[in-house]
Every structure is written in structure tokens, then in C-alpha cells.
Amino acid sequence: MQRYDLVILGAGSGNMLLADELAHLRTAVVEPNRFGGTCLNRGCIPSKMYVLVADAVENARAAARLGVHATVERVDWRAVRDRIFRRIDPLHDGALDYRRKNGVDVYTTEARFVGPKVLQVGTERITADTFVVAVGSRPVVPDIPGLDSVPFHTSDTIMRIDDVPSSMAVIGGGFIAAEFGHVFDAFGTDITVVTRGPRLLTGEDEQISARFTELASRRHRVLLDARITSVERRSGGVALTVTSPDGEQVVEAEMLLVSAGRRPNTDRLDAVAGGLELDEHGHIVTDSAYRTSVPGLWALGDVANHFQLKHMANAESRIVRHNILHPEDLRTLPNALAPHAVFTSPQIAGVGLTEQEARNREIDYLASVRDYADTAYGWALEDTTSFVKVLASPHDRRLLGAHIIGPQAATLIQPLLQAMTLGLTVDRIGRDVLYIHPALTEVVEQALLAL
């Protein structure tokens, strides 16, 4: 049995652990797929490179409202795809070589726990004083009759297809469906979204969710409160039998995208055999310092939390590195805020409580909504649908939540996130901070002043 000081399972955010401070440890990394994890290879980065193209197409087509009469001659899927992955794919080999040249053993086969802190990797067994589990998550494939007998894609595979389909059925109404609906619509695909929920993006604040559903329904066919009873192969594609408030109907499409959520990879790792406690969703249970039920074994990222956010996993990686080196001075993340963004059209960002959560938890709150159209830059954009929504406590005047739908939402939310992190009152950030005129940040200022 090979013995190490440190074994890291997963080379996404787990790979970020290996800073100079850990160079004195005999270390192994186990990664059966590609260095960079989901974010680099199958998630955040390539998908946003596609979104940027989709934004350019949409902006050109919508420019007439500004007096610019432009047309899009052609969008070259293969050229875009190849540009993206010719840049991304070489990074795996570079990272692999770098680790090995710097004394890290890298295992590229599947691994499973066969006991606490004992790992079977191919034909070898390895152990270590310290383990970090960061094996991420994968798409959920729902149990729908017939789905296993038809061709379909998930977010893992859809970005590498050879040709854009003429039509696509999308199962799910979350952020993956929202982003890829935007992308493929821009490339000319006729989109049908089928979701069980009453709206799209139901995890967002209800006003954001309702507005996005309204706008998406102008671009796509959207079936709400819908249940798929069967899927079957048809000539030229697939057919979904769907039951909804409008009755039963058949949705036909050339291609099927399944975007029904993600699940942690703990089952593939046989985490239970390793003595790890799991929650009801299969995530590894950790304390606030990311220690697990096995002493000396830490966990971070999608395998341990429900956020599925790369920036959270990166922050957790920094915390775990410190805690491995300084067990007498354990750190936790400084706050429980988990900001997120959906890079669809329009862009969406949120942090903290939604209005429905505040109501359900009987938390007192004040709410303010301000349209982009109320600002000078909103006038310039000829924007009629975007807004900022902020919630604050009427007692201590601090922000409880912030939610934005519209251009630059992921950037506009940052000062609100910082104010929440620092515990500033809405009065201070609304009155004591200057907002550049006529920048779009004035819509944030106006929403705060209204409180």
C-alpha cells in the first residue's frame, strides 16, 4: 500500500489546494477525468464563452430599437466550439505534467474507498494521514419511461456537438436550461422548455422568476406545470409525451437536452465504505471548518454543499488549505452569503433572502424595486423589463437580500454583496456612497434610497 501525507480526490477546486505551503507533503491527486473539473471542462467557462456569442447575436438583432439596423449573416457553431475547446483542452495536459514534474503523484483511474482513509485506485491501494474529497457532481438523469432508449445530451456533452439542431426539447427549468436556451436560440434552434414548476428559475425571488418566465416565453415555447410521461425515438429525433394544465400533448424535437439538476459523486466514490456520513441528498456532511465524520478527512465543493458554485468551492479550498496546516487555528467562511448569477438573457443575479423566503420564515422586511428605466443609462438602453430588488430589515436597517434581472446583473450586485458582508446599513450605502452618473449603478442607488 502506498502511503502519502496528503491525498486529494478531484482536480477541480481540489487542485487549487496545492499551493507552496503544502509543497513539503508527499502528495497524490486522484482525477479520472480532466484537470479543471466541471467548471473548466463542462461548465462555467465554456458555457459562458458560448453565452458571450449568444449575447452578441441578440444585441445585433435587437439594435433596431437604438436606430441601428443590423443583421446577423451567420453564426458558425463549429468555429465557436473549436475556438473554445482548443483553448481549454490543452490545459489538462499542462496541469498534469506540471504536478508530476513537481513531485505530485497523479492517478488517472477511478477510485473507491474500501475503508476509512483507504482508497482502491485501479489495482493499487493508497492511504494518507490527510484526505481532501472534492470529486464534484454530475447531471441528474430523471427516471422517465423511455429516456434510457433515446439519444439525449446533458450539460456534460451538449457543448461539444458537431452541428446545431433545428429544434431542441429541454427538460428542466433551472439555470442550465435558461443558459442553454439562450445559447441555442441565438444559433437558430427552435426551443421547447418543459418544466414541472409553475415558473422558470423558481429558486429565484418570485418577481425575478415571474419576469424571466414572461420574457423566455416570448423566445421559446415554455410548458409549465408539465409532467413528461414518456419519451420515444422518432424519425429525425425524439418525442416527449407531456401532461400539463392544457392536457396531454406530444413535443417533437431533433435533439433532447436533459437539465434536471445535479447530484454529488459520492456514490461513485463509495463514500459510505470510507466511513463518511452523508445527508439525504448524498452530500458529505461537514462541520463549518469542512471536517467530515472521519478524522483527517476534509470535503469541499459540490460534493459537500448544495450551492454548486465555483466561487464557493474556491473559497472553501483556501479555507481547507489553512485548516490542514493550522489545525489549532481553524477557519470558516466569514459569512453564509452565497451569491450567484444566471448568464442567460436577461442576466440574473441574487444573494440572500428572497421575498418568499422572508414571508415563509416570518422575517420582518422592507422591499424596494427600481426599474432600470428609471435611470439615465436605462433610458440609453431603451430598457423596459429590467429591475433591481432589495430587501432590508426594518429593525437594524441592514440588507437581507438583493436580486437583479437585466444587463450587467452579475456585476451590479457586487456592491450590495459587499455591503451585506460588511454589515452596512442601507442608509450608509445609499446616502454615504457616491454613484457615478450616468452609470447603470444608479439603479442600485435608487433602490437603496427608496428604502
**Marked catalytic residue, from 153, 182, 306, 437:** 437
Q: Tell me if residue 437 is catalytic.
A: yes
C-alpha cell at 345: 438573457
List 105's β-bridge partners, or say none: 28
Helix, strand, or coil here: 371? strand
Exposure letters 386-420 (e unless 16+ CB within 10 A, then b): bbbbbbbbeeeebbbbbbbbbbbbbebbebbbebb
For residue 296, which of 427, 60, 128 has the smallest C-alpha distance? 128
For residue 278, give the DSSP letter: B
Q: If you write DSSP's letter for every residue of 115-141 in order, what string do you get?
A: ETTEEEETTEEEEEEEEEE---EEE--
CB 447 within 8 A of CB 389: yes
For residue 12, which of 52, 45, 49, 48 has the smallest C-alpha distance? 45
Which H/E stretch holds residue 351?
strand 348-352
Ramachandran category for residue 352: left, alpha or beta (phi over 0 → left; psi -120 to 50 → alpha)? left
Residues with catalytic function: 437
